[in-house]
Amino acid sequence: MERVEPSATRPGTAAAERSFDLAKGTVRELNQFLHHELPGSGVKHIDVLNPKGAHSIAVGIDHAVDIDVRGHGGYYLGGMNKFANITVHGNVGWGVAENMMSGTVRVKGFASESAGATGHGGLLVIEGDASLRCGISMKGIDIVVGGRVGNFSAFMAQAGNLVVCGDAGDALGDSLYEATLYVRGRIKSLGADAHIEDMTDADHSKVGELLKRAGFSYDPTEFKRVASKRSLYHWNADAGQEY
C-alpha cells in the first residue's frame, strides 16, 4: 500500500493528513491502520481514494478522526463506527453505518438497503434516497434522510429517531418499539402497530435540531410523527393470535 507522505495543507498539523488509495492498496490495510496505527499517530483527517464500491471501508473505528471517502462505497461502510466522522462523496451499498455506536456518517448520494441497521448511537445522514429497510432494528441511532425511504423502514426499531424529508414506502415502522419516526412527505402505508401521533413542541425542537445537524432547512412543522401503538408489546393469550 502506498501511503502518501504527510502533506502540509493544514499549517501546524503537518502530520495530521493521510491518504489511502484503494486502487493501490487494500481495504484491509486501511482498516488495520484505522484500528492499530491511528491512535497516537496525530492523524486527524484521512482521504480514501478510489473506493470503487469496495465493501467494509472504514469499519470498526474506535477513535476520533475525519474521513472523506471520494467515490462510491460498497456494503457496511462505517459499520460499528465509534467517534469517527465519515463523509462519503458518492453512494453506498447495503448496511451503511450498521451497528454504529457514535460519531457521524454522511452519505452525499443514495444508500442501498438496511442503512443504519441496529445502530446504537451517532448520526447517519443520507442526503439522497435510502432504499428498503432503512433503520431496521435501530437501537438509539439518529438517521436523517434527505430523500425518500423504501419499504419496511424502521422495522422493529427500538430506540432513536428516523427523520425522512421525502416519502416513506410500504409498512413503515412495522412492529415498532420505542423509536420515533418523522416523515415530511407521503407515507404509502404504516406497518403493524405503527400509527401517526400529534407532534408536540418537544417533537418540533427535536426534529429542528436533527435537521440542523444534518444540514437541511425544512420546517419541523411539516413533519408527521409515527410511533408505536404498543399493542404488540405483550403476548395476549385471549387474542387467539388474531391481531
> Which residue has 426534529 as its cell numbers?
207
- Nearer CB in complex with other proteins: 57/162: 57
> Nearest approach, Cβ of 190 to other proteins (angstroms)?
17
Q: What is the CA radius of gyration of the chain?
A: 19
CA 94/CA 169 separation, integer angstroms: 17
User: What is the torsional sign of CA 96, 101, 105, 110?
Assistant: positive
Question: Mapping DSSP to helix (H, G, I), strand (E, B) and coil, where does residue 35 land?
Answer: helix
> Nearest approach, Cβ of 160 to other proteins (angstroms)?
24
> Nearest approach, Cβ of 235 to other proteins (angstroms)?
26
> Nearest approach, Cβ of 241 to other proteins (angstroms)?
23
> Nearest approach, Cβ of 150 to other proteins (angstroms)?
7
Residues 3-42: x/- map of binding to other proteins (CB under 8 A)?
----------------------------------------
Residues 43-72: x/- map of binding to other proteins (CB under 8 A)?
---------xxxx---------------xx
Name 12's Cβ contacts closer than 8 Å, sequence gap at least 6.
none
Q: How many residues bind other proteins (CB under 8 A)?
A: 20
- Nearer CB in complex with other proteins: 101/111: 111
If binding is defined by CB under 8 A, does position 74 make contact with other proteins? yes
> Percentage helix, strand, coil, to 5, in the chain?
15, 25, 60
Name 204's Cβ contacts closer than 8 Å, sequence gap at least 6.
220, 221
> Nearest approach, Cβ of 72 to other proteins (angstroms)?
5
- Nearer CB in complex with other proteins: 35/55: 55
Nearest to 146 by CA among 132, 160, 162, 166: 166
Name 237's Cβ contacts closer than 8 Å, sequence gap at least 6.
none
Binding to other proteins (CB under 8 A): which residues in 151-170? 151-152
CB of 90 within 8 A of CB of 73?
A: yes
Nearest to 110 by CA among 135, 91, 96: 91
CB of 162 within 8 A of CB of 183?
A: no
Residues 193-212: x/- map of binding to other proteins (CB under 8 A)?
--------------------
Q: Which of 93, 119, 140, 220 binds other proteins (CB under 8 A)?
A: 93
Question: Mapping DSSP to helix (H, G, I), strand (E, B) and coil, where does residue 126 land?
Answer: strand
Q: Which of 132, 149, 165, 172 binds other proteins (CB under 8 A)?
A: 132
Instruction: Give residues in contact with other proteins (CB under 8 A).
Output: 52-55, 71-72, 74-75, 91, 93-94, 109-110, 112-113, 131-132, 150-152
